[in-house]
Structure 1
């Protein structure tokens, strides 16, 4: 048997391999296998068999590119938001339809609306995936983000007492007042229903368009303008107990939480309504959003928390 072609092929493959690239891949694969954990340079180097200077150079470059996020307090690293865009582009190129996207597609097709998944990444609310009706232009795109600070982000903390407290302790993007009784009612009502309904208001329509892409620290003039649009946490929430069954209601968004295997909220599934609905139509759509969120939760191996 002649082995020369095989030997030549092996040698050629070896020459084409890039050990520096392999080390970068090893870092990303290691962190991808442990998405809920963070690691410092010393531990990463030890676990991956790298020298500390080499590991530091890798994570610094990846963090600069947004593929990793560095915690400024404890100097640890985790996966970053640039991987979301990268993964989405790969998904498009391979024409893959994951369970999450399929759930959004069914929701969008059933009601002729835009459906989306979003999550909090590095202190910003980031759009992870979106499905719009044929020919529709949603006006937002995957990767678009907003500051995660009051009053924006209520839907990401409603379902966790610790998350609510931590969110309220953040420096608000605009001057706010907090009606504690109203907020308590919002939390209790949304948890009982399993979803959040936001009213459609002229101010609300402008809020997100103004905040898109903005940093958490906003210019004083913009803060003042936003303060005219939203001045109380939870004021745009439409509770079932406040809605009349005989009237139609202007609804902006209906959202439901997605949970991970720690029973912590991982994402939000949303239906962008932007229309006047009857109470029956609101409940019908809200239940459909919850069903979609539950499908994604199941895909993640997650489960809902127990309150009480």
Structure 2
């Protein structure tokens, strides 16, 4: 999450370029003339024209014959290089594709980049609208991000020590029997299953791109969502029978580097009700995907993670 204090001098001209690119990126199916684009991003027409002309020259925008502008091919190259720098390889994407095809769900790889949870790669079934996209990011602070620290003692302690009031106006309960059970069971199984709640359905779409200064609506939603970090996690002891169906949001498993440090998370986005057997089958498939990506990175999976003391 970006710091509350600025880390250095800002560049207003650069901010104007970013505003244009971000606006067009949020509307990939639309095209805009200079006058309309300038009005929508709050720039003068001459300033906007100068920026889009330079971006077209560099291939970051394309000017169509009707004098409208859209994103250009140079951004594709830039995006691919960004993915490469974050260790997402074509082979890893193949693993996501297999996972997605097997269960008809969205599969993704995510990592913590500059203290924000960022979607690094994603594969969705044809015609599906996954609700998240590559490059989308979320604040990394309690109660969001448990799947990125659950497997590492030091990382978990650091995450739990983060100031949760950056997100909430009331404190979270972190030293609870429920959280202890979550840590023990998820480490034993090698995966994390998050429940789907009415508040959770709206949480991540509201959080995308947010900074530390969150709006009142999001703070209220987070307060509604959780007061104990472990309460949204599905545990086997919660079952009341093999036929009962549980509303599940996401199933995740860790990806490791050669130092046995977690570097990414492989996730399956569910968004529906599953039986115990269905949850188990999908969780094992996610773990297999995460293990395959770990192997591609030359990583080493810890054999017996220890509980947080």
Normalising by structure 2, what TM-score? 0.68
1:297 paired with 2:274, answer no
Higher relative contact order (CA 8 A, sep 6+): 2
Give CA-to-partner distance per residue, 1:69-120, whole Å, 9 cap, x none: xxxxxxxxxxxxxx9983437889xxx9711100000000000000000000
Give the secondary-structure state (helix, strand or coil) at the position aligned to 1:214: coil
Instruction: Show the 5 A alignment for 1:228-239.
Output: 228-239=224-235
Runs of 4+ residues over 6 Å off in structure 1: 89-92
Q: Tell me if the contact between 2:207 and 2:218 (Cα under 8 Å) persists in the aligned partners.
A: no
Tell me, yes or no, if structure 1 residue 269 matches structure 2 residue 266.
yes
Cα 1:207/1:166, change in 2 over 3 Å: same
Aligned to 2:305: 307
Instruction: Pick the aligned partner of 1:99 from 71, 76, 91.
Output: 91
- Show the 5 A alignment for 1:121-270: 121-172=113-164, 173-174=167-168, 175=170, 176-220=172-216, 222-244=218-240, 245-270=242-267
Q: Measured at CA, do residues 132 and 161 of structure 1 come closer, stay the same or move farther in structure 2, by a change above 3 Å?
A: same
Checking the alignment, whether the CA contact within 8 Å between 1:85 and 1:143 is kept in structure 2 is: no
Provide the secondary structure at the position in 1 that maps to 2:205.
Answer: helix
Q: CA RMSD in A?
A: 2.5
- Is the partner of 2:111 in helix, strand or coil? strand
SS in 2 for 1:125: strand
Structure 2 gap segments, 5+ residues each: 1-13, 19-74
8 Å CA contact 1:207–1:226 kept in 2: the answer is yes
1:280 to 277, 280, 294: 277
Gaps of 5+ in 1: 1-60, 66-82
Distance 1:302 1:272 in 2: 24
- Whether the 8 Å CA contact 2:203–2:218 is kept in 1: the answer is no
SS in 1 for 2:151: coil
Deviation at 1:171, TM superposition (A): 1.4
CA offsets 1:155-183 (integer angstroms, 9 cap, x no match): 00000011111001111112323352111
Are residues 85 and 190 of structure 1, via their aligned partners in 2, closer, same or farther at CA, if it must alter by over 3 Å?
Answer: farther
Q: May I ask how many residue pairs the two structures share in their alignment?
A: 226
Q: Following the alignment from structure 1 to structure 2, what is the Cα–Cα distance between the partners of residues 195 and 121?
A: 21
2:258 counterpart SS class: coil
Counterpart of 1:109? 101
Distance 2:256 2:135 in 1: 20
* TM-score, normalised by the number of residues in structure 1: 0.68
Q: How far apart, CA to CA, are the structure 1 residues paired with 2:182 and 2:258?
A: 26
Query: In the aligned structure 1, how far is the partner of 2:121 from the partner of 2:230?
Result: 25
Deviation at 1:235, TM superposition (A): 1.0
Distance in 1, matches of 2:190 and 2:254, equals 8
Structure number with bigger Rg: 1
Partner secondary structure for residue 272 of structure 1: strand
